[in-house]
């Protein structure tokens, strides 16, 4: 018992069996659709309107998308929930008020290998959620079932959540209702029930996202944070690459600015619809940072990656770029054409690169269209590191609605 609440699983009554219908059947037709539709959404705990107390809930979950059952722990305090899955190295944090999701993955030694943030996350339950009139008892605790609205306009999947009188989610269910996938009946995709409920005080520290990951030195302690470069480094440059002709649809138009100060390279791209992206790469250790901004210039998402395993040398060129035995000339520079996606069928990317690897032309071919891009400016000048790295205010807690 914890705060008067039993911590052992009770048997499900006959009236509750529909809530825990079998979920181990194999539905090949659901396949990728369900994997994409439910990824991440199911893990966002539902908070009903009004105040929610601090709590720690452990939940056992079954899913047709997983071979084995899993156990999750939800830790909540002051509008933030941390989710830990047993056996997983990823920890997830949710800021419910600002619809922020943060995920951190560490390797076996505890070093970070992936960190991402999404603002205004669409998977967070919306205010349109409503009670269904159903009631259950989980661990001797009564709860009411809510129809949890998550994806605007979605009719293929329905989320249900059973919530105690003080707002704690103790059971959940996801059903598929799309007739062309599973004819004439709803089928349970994921189901979970609490195996323990603990209404204890939770500190801010227990649910605080690891904002230290926003400091790039967390990921690159051995990197030289100065303009000094290793001997024999590729030369600095700045290049601007743009859509080559007016036939490109507005949303496919791009203006890409590439800057290199080895080992760092940044790629800033402005789209015709106003969306902007920023990509930072470290060519010596495979660190990468990617940010997407909306048309109003607000940062929407960020991902940081640094694979822990060293990069393996290529054994052969079977999956590498294929020399197309063709040359071109751009801005007075000769470039060679390569097929960088030789094993794909739906789309192909051809790149024309200078002798020192600078992209000067690009063709993106699909069955519907061909989009051409060409360098309109190339400057082989010293590029200070400050021009390559992201602006400092982008890597602050305030920029992402995260607690300090």
What residue ranges do the domains of the chain occupy?
A: 14-207, 232-388
The whole-number average pLDDT for the span 147-159 is: 73
Q: What is the pLDDT of residue 24?
A: 34
C-beta of residue 77 within 8 angstroms of C-beta of residue 204:
yes
Give the single-character DSSP code of 165: T
Identify whether 369 is preceded by a cis peptide bond (ω within 30 of 0).
Answer: no
Q: For the stretch 200-238, what's the b/e string if a residue is b when 16 or more beta carbons lie within 10 angstroms of its beta carbon?
A: eebeeeebbbebebbebeebbeeeeeeeebeeeeeebbb
- Pick the range with the lowest mean pLDDT from 178-192, 227-241, 250-264, 316-330: 178-192
CB atoms within 10 A of CB 159: 25
Nearest to 43 by CA among 113, 112, 8, 94: 94
Q: What is the pLDDT of residue 31?
A: 42
Q: Which helix (H) or strand (E) holds 388?
A: helix 385-388
Q: Which helix (H) or strand (E) holds 204?
A: helix 204-207
Distance CA(74)–CA(80), nearest Å, equals 10
14-207 and 232-388 have identical folds: yes
The whole-number average pLDDT for the span 379-387 is: 93
Q: What is the dihedral of CA 155, 158, 159, 160, to 10 degrees?
A: 130
Largest CA distance in the chain: 79
Q: Which residue has the tokens 């899913």?
A: 63
The whole-number average pLDDT for the span 296-317 is: 72
Q: Average pLDDT, whole number, for the chain?
A: 81
Q: What is the pLDDT of residue 246?
A: 62
Distance of CA 316 to the CA centre of its chain: 32
259: Cβ contacts below 8 Å, ≥ 6 apart: 236, 237, 238, 265, 266, 383, 387, 388
Please state which CATH number belongs to domain 232-388.
2.50.20.30
Query: pLDDT tier at 43 (50, 70, 90 boundaries)?
Result: low
Query: pLDDT tier at 20 (50, 70, 90 boundaries)?
Result: very low
Q: What is the pLDDT of residue 124?
A: 67
Q: What is the pLDDT of residue 252?
A: 67
Please give the residue that has the higher pLDDT: either 131 or 64: 131
Q: What is the pLDDT of residue 131?
A: 94
Distance of CA 59 to the CA centre of its chain: 23
Query: pLDDT tier at 59 (50, 70, 90 boundaries)?
Result: very high
Please give the residue that has the higher pLDDT: either 244 or 107: 107
Nearest to 19 by CA among 123, 174, 165: 174
Q: What is the pLDDT of residue 318?
A: 53
Query: pLDDT tier at 153 (50, 70, 90 boundaries)?
Result: low
Q: What is the pLDDT of residue 289?
A: 95
Q: What is the pLDDT of residue 315?
A: 39
Give the single-character DSSP code of 400: G
CB atoms within 10 A of CB 109: 7
The whole-number average pLDDT for the span 116-139 is: 86
Q: What is the dihedral of CA 129, 131, 132, 138, to 10 degrees?
A: 110
Q: What is the pLDDT of residue 162?
A: 96
Q: Is 252 buried (19+), middle (13-18) or exposed (0-12) by CB count in 10 A?
A: middle
Integer angstrom CA distances of residue 318 from 45, 73, 327, 342, 351: 45, 44, 22, 9, 17
Q: What is the pLDDT of residue 345?
A: 73
221: Cβ contacts below 8 Å, ≥ 6 apart: none
Checking if the pLDDT of 15 tops 60, the result is: no
Checking if the pLDDT of 29 tops 70, the result is: no
Please state which CATH number belongs to domain 14-207.
2.50.20
Across 246-255, 358-367, 373-382, which has the greatest mean pLDDT?
A: 373-382
What predicted TM-score, i.e. pTM, was given to this entire model?
0.81
Query: pLDDT tier at 242 (50, 70, 90 boundaries)?
Result: very high
């Amino acid at each position: 018992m914890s705060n008067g609440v039993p911590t052992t699983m009770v048997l499900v009554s006959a009236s509750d069996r529909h809530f825990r219908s079998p979920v181990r059947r194999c539905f090949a037709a659901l396949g990728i659709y369900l994997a994409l539709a439910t990824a991440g959404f199911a893990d966002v705990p539902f908070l009903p309107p009004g105040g929610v107390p601090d709590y720690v809930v452990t939940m056992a979950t079954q899913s047709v998308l997983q071979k084995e059952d899993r156990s999750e722990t939800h830790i909540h305090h002051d509008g933030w929930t941390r989710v830990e899955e047993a056996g997983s190295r990823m920890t997830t944090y949710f800021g419910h008020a600002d619809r922020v999701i943060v995920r951190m993955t560490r390797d076996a030694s505890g070093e970070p290998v992936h960190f991402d943030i999404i603002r205004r996350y669409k998977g967070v339950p919306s205010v349109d959620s409503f009670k269904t009139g159903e009631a259950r008892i989980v661990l001797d605790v009564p709860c009411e079932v809510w129809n949890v609205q998550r994806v605007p306009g979605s009719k293929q999947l329905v989320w249900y959540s059973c919530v105690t009188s003080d707002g704690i989610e103790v059971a959940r269910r996801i059903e598929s209702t799309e007739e062309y996938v599973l004819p004439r009946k709803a089928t349970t995709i994921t189901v979970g029930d609490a195996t323990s409920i603990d209404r204890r005080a939770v500190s801010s520290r227990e649910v605080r996202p690891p904002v230290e990951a926003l400091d790039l030195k967390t990921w690159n302690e051995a990197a030289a944070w100065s303009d000094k470069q290793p001997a024999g480094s590729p030369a600095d440059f700045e290049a601007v690459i743009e859509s080559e002709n007016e036939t490109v649809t507005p949303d496919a138009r791009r203006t890409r600015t590439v800057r290199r100060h080895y080992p760092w390279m940044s790629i800033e791209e402005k789209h015709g619809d106003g969306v902007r992206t920023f990509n930072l790469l470290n060519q010596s250790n495979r660190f990468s940072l990617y940010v997407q901004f909306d048309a109003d210039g607000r940062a929407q998402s960020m991902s940081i990656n640094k694979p822990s395993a060293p990069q393996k040398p290529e054994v052969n060129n079977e999956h590498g770029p294929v020399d197309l035995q063709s040359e071109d000339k751009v801005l007075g520079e000769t470039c060679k054409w390569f097929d960088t996606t030789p094993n794909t069928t739906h789309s192909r990317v051809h790149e024309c690169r200078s002798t020192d690897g600078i992209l000067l032309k690009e063709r993106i071919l699909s069955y519907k269209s061909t989009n051409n891009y060409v360098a309109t400016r190339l400057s082989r000048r010293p590029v200070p590191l400050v021009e390559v790295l992201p602006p400092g205010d982008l890597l602050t807690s305030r920029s992402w609605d995260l607690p300090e």
